[in-house]
Amino acid sequence: MSLIDISGNLLFVAFIAYLVATLLFGGSIKQSNATGKNTEKWGKVAIVVTIIGLLSQLGYFITRWIYAGHAPVSNMFEFTTAFGMFIVGAFILIYFIYRVPALGLVALPVALLIIAYAAMFPKEVTPLMPSLQSYWLTIHVITAALGQSLLAISAVAGLVYLLKVVDLKKPSKQRFWLEAVMFFLVVVVGFVIATSVFSLMGYDSTYTYVDKEGNGRQIEYQMPPLFGMNEYKAVEEHGMSPLVEMPALINAKKLTSVVWSFLVGSVLYLVIRLIAQRRISAIFQPFVKRVNLQLVDEIGYRSVLIGFPVFTLGALIFAMIWAQLSWSRFWGWDPKEVWALVTWLFYAAFLHLRLSKGWEGEKSAWLALIGFAIILFNLIAVNLILAGLHSYASA
């Protein structure tokens, strides 16, 4: 068995461990609710299984690094799996400080969805582009991912807080937006399902395009194409033709994947609602009824307090150093750079509102969720749809 096969097996073991640990955390909380006592035994087993999963994924990371000869953070598969690993690591750190099992019931599924999302991208190890052959890439990406993982824990704490305080029996804006968050998580599951189904079907549509200069180009879809390239004349080779033509700024192939995700995710969401006969947020609400709100609020705040400076170093300062070495400029208004700045400005505003305006509790929880939504938009939409110097990340 080759080193890359061992690496893949370790990642699979980590995925299974996180899934089992999620069930164990859920079981410990359910039993605690039923008996009125803290179930230390189940919580200890759950965190041990989580640590085993993290060690396994760390083994995946190291073996892939050895095999590739460079840090495995150079494409979407590698970065996203690393991001999921760092979220689990951040959760374990927070758990040993605060001992809140309900966080595991949210943090681990988020990590599972991110790792499953990563699995939809090409897993092959490829040589680095010249602009990526710098140790500053490793420093920049790993530090930025660490910062984002800590910020993700603030969103996890925020979601737990809102699940407890929002009254789901009465119509309100809070109830609507909380359910919208749950819907988005289901959409991510929809992406995994859609990609997996079309992959198992062996779906493939390839088109030869002729641009204005008369140069022939090819585009290959792994899902039925909904969007085509702008100002191209398509000559169909096989499969259905794209339905809508998009501007040159938009990556039509990736936009197709996003729309299919929303379509499948919406159907899945409706099926869950019909079976459960209630909102998805209402399904999870019983698991957080014994949560200490003040403690969860503190976790969310301290996660941002630690994650913000780490993100600043990785996504801005180290990124600028790498940009100067790679492209001879510190800043170029690339879409990825712009949204990194937007993320930084948002969390700066979060801390300002928290410290000077007293935005605690529910307001702070909503801000944490919005911040994580910006991070996911940067990870998904900016990487997959908008063209730019960071387009290599979609490979």
What are 193-230's pLDDT values in tens digits?
Answer: 888 888 788 777 776 665 556 666 677 777 888 777 66
- Contact at 8 Å (CB) between 218 and 205? no
The whole-number pLDDT of residue 210 equals 57
- CA dist 266 to 111, 182, 340, 380, Å? 21, 11, 29, 18
pTM of the model: 0.85
Q: Which of 12-21, 181-190, 371-380 has the highest mean pLDDT?
A: 12-21
Residue (of 295, 294, 286, 285) closest to 99 by Cα position: 295
The per-residue pLDDT for range 42-69, each reduced to its tens digit, is: 788 999 999 999 999 999 999 999 988 8
Q: How confident is the model at residue 238 (pLDDT cuts 50, 70, 90)?
A: low
Distances (CA, A) of 100 to 23, 42, 44, 163, 286: 15, 13, 12, 15, 15
Q: Tens of pLDDT along 315-349?
A: 899 988 888 877 777 777 777 888 889 999 999 99
User: Percent of the chain at pLDDT above 90?
Assistant: 42
pLDDT of 395 above 50: no
For the stretch 297-313, what's the b/e string if a residue is b when 16 or more beta carbons lie within 10 angstroms of its beta carbon?
bebbbbbbbbbbebbbb
Least Cα distance to 367 among 203, 50, 80, 151 occurs for: 151
Confidence class for position 71, pLDDT limits 50, 70, 90: confident
* Radius of gyration of the chain measured on its C-alpha atoms: 22
Residue 120 has pLDDT above 80, yes or no: no
Q: Could you tell me which residues come within 8 angstroms of residue 36 by beta carbon, excluding any fewer than 6 positions away? A: none
Distance CA 12, CA 173 (A): 39
Give pLDDT tens digits for 351-385: 999 989 888 999 999 999 999 999 988 887 776 66
Give the pLDDT score at 21.
94
